[in-house]
Amino acid sequence: MAKQEYEGVAWMNMMTPDGGVISVTERAESSVTAYANLMETRVVMLDDGLVPFNSYYNKAQENIAAVPMIIDTPQPTPPQLDPIIPAQPDPFPEPASVVAQAQELGGVEADPFAGSDPFYDAVDTPYVDVPQLVDRLKKAGEWKTGEVQEILVDQYTLGDGAIKFYKSDNENDYHEHAHYLNDYGVKDMAAFFGNTWNKAFAPAAVPTLIPGGAFIIAVKGGKVRDSGKGAGNVFRNLASARRP
């Protein structure tokens, strides 16, 4: 029996190049999941040439506007290394090997995430300036703009518009990095963990094991904060994620 009501609903209007308006609604168990699904749909629609629709304008080009960020983390600066964004796998691939056939029959558990590290090239050869893996990231006041550090994380929480990554052996039980799921943050999650990341990362209020095992995430120092509690410190942004 289909569920009649959902706890989370998110919707938006998009305009086609010839002026048609399409309304899209996402429903899910929580508003965070509905919002994440809506942002994923928006990326596809933008790729197809649609633009956000606003009833106060009647021309498609006038509807394109910069959306101000509602949190204190700016858009992450992409690494200056021509990152490799992996192609999404075919949902119905033809078995090409004994392993593939075993996976198809349920005998091998497939990795729920797709992706490669933008600091590595097509043959997994590290670039000269690959950041060193550390046990603990630097403190907030020690970061510099452009600096990158990697750390292994194996737990997460998801809620209140953010996903936080943890390391289970952290005695302080404090998250290593918080990634906010605004417009830019949702796009980053799709790039680093695949378009179905929101189906693998279920909402979790307490530290929960990452599905499929640990990840190594890279955090990069961004612009310097000019206001607020952290004024004078640089923003720290999620720059990549890869399996160990």
Q: Say what the pTM is.
A: 0.48
User: For position 65, what pLDDT does the model report?
Assistant: 47
Report CA-CA distances (Å) from 47 to 4, 44, 87, 124, 190. 32, 5, 15, 29, 14
Q: Is 46 in the same domain as 121? A: no
SS3 79: coil
Q: Is residue 73 part of a domain?
A: no
Is the separation of the CB atoms in 57 and 63 below 8 Å? yes
Domain contains 95: no
Domain with 45 in it: 8-63
Does residue 89 sit within a domain? no
Q: How far apart are CA 104 and CA 98, in angstroms?
A: 10
- pLDDT: is 77 or 163 the higher one? 163
pLDDT at 37: 87
Contact 182, 204 (CB under 8 A): no
Query: What is the rounded end-to-end Cα distance, in angstroms, of the chain?
Result: 41
pLDDT digits (tens, 9 = 90+) for 44-54: 888 888 888 77
Q: Are residues 121 and 15 in the same domain?
A: no
Number of domains in the chain: 2
Mean pLDDT of 99-108: 49
Per-residue pLDDT tens over the stretch 16-29: 888 788 888 888 88
Reading the block at residue 45, the tokens are 């629609």
Q: For 41, list phi and psi in degrees, rounded to 5.
A: -65, -40
Q: Are 56 and 126 members of one domain?
A: no
**pLDDT exceeds cutoff 60 at 136:** yes
Tokens describing residue 201: 């990362």
Task: Yes or no: say if 51 and 15 are a contact pair by the CB < 8 Å rule.
Answer: yes
